[in-house]
Amino acid sequence: MAIQFSRRGALMTGGAIFVAGCTQAPKTIPLSDIDSWVPNEAQDAQIRSAMEKFQVPGVGIAVIEDGAVVWNGNYGVSNIETGAPIRDDTLFQAASLTKPLFAYVVLRLIDAGVINLNDRLVETYRPHDLADHPWNDSITVRHVLTHQTGLPNWRSADDETALLEAAFEPGTAHAYSGEAFHWLQQVCETKTGAG
């Protein structure tokens, strides 16, 4: 019998997988009968079990639908030494988890004709700290989304005043770059008038 994935069921399962940091779906979360964002006892137990298994001390989960929080839950602690619990106002370091979401927004802008995968970023926005080098001038939206810009991930505090420069010709190698995504963000803000 095939498992039917409702939108909410798929998202709840995806959230549980994300919480655990694993690559396989937990087998004990029922997928077909989810009619609420509120986890049932089995789902709640699975979240806690995954946290324990993968040594995740604390998790805050919120579901937003139509611009409003429809469910949120807090699990574990924000400080393992003090035992301070996760609360609604606990801040988490999101790291690079937003890059796939931003990439989706960029793809939607491409679908809408606002930008193009082959647009060179300098044609829309040139950062004040971008070095004058032909490699920098050739960086495209496609290069950013595929981590082929040659730009560094992030400059260290010691390098904050250093000019931003590609270490290799864009499109010839892969190197993760937060700097490139930040530049593309500025391009998107300029194109949409949000900046």
pLDDT at 39: 82
Tell me how far apart the alpha carbons of residues 26 and 178 are, in angstroms, rounded to a whole number: 31
Residues involved in catalysis: 96
pLDDT at 157: 65
How distant is the alpha carbon of residue 35 from its chain centre?
27
pLDDT at 96: 77
**pLDDT tens-digit readout, 111-156:** 999 999 999 999 999 999 999 999 999 999 999 999 999 999 888 7
**pLDDT tens-digit readout, 20-57:** 443 344 444 444 444 567 788 888 899 999 999 999 99
Domain extent listing, the chain: 7-85, 99-189
Pick the residue with more confidence: 39 or 78? 78
In the chain, the percentage of residues whose pLDDT exceeds 70 is 77
Q: Residue 13 pLDDT more than 90?
A: no
Q: How many residues does the chain have?
A: 195
Tell me how far apart the alpha carbons of residues 28 and 50 are, in angstroms, rounded to a whole number: 11
Q: Helix (H, G, I), strand (E, B), or coil: what is residue 37? A: coil
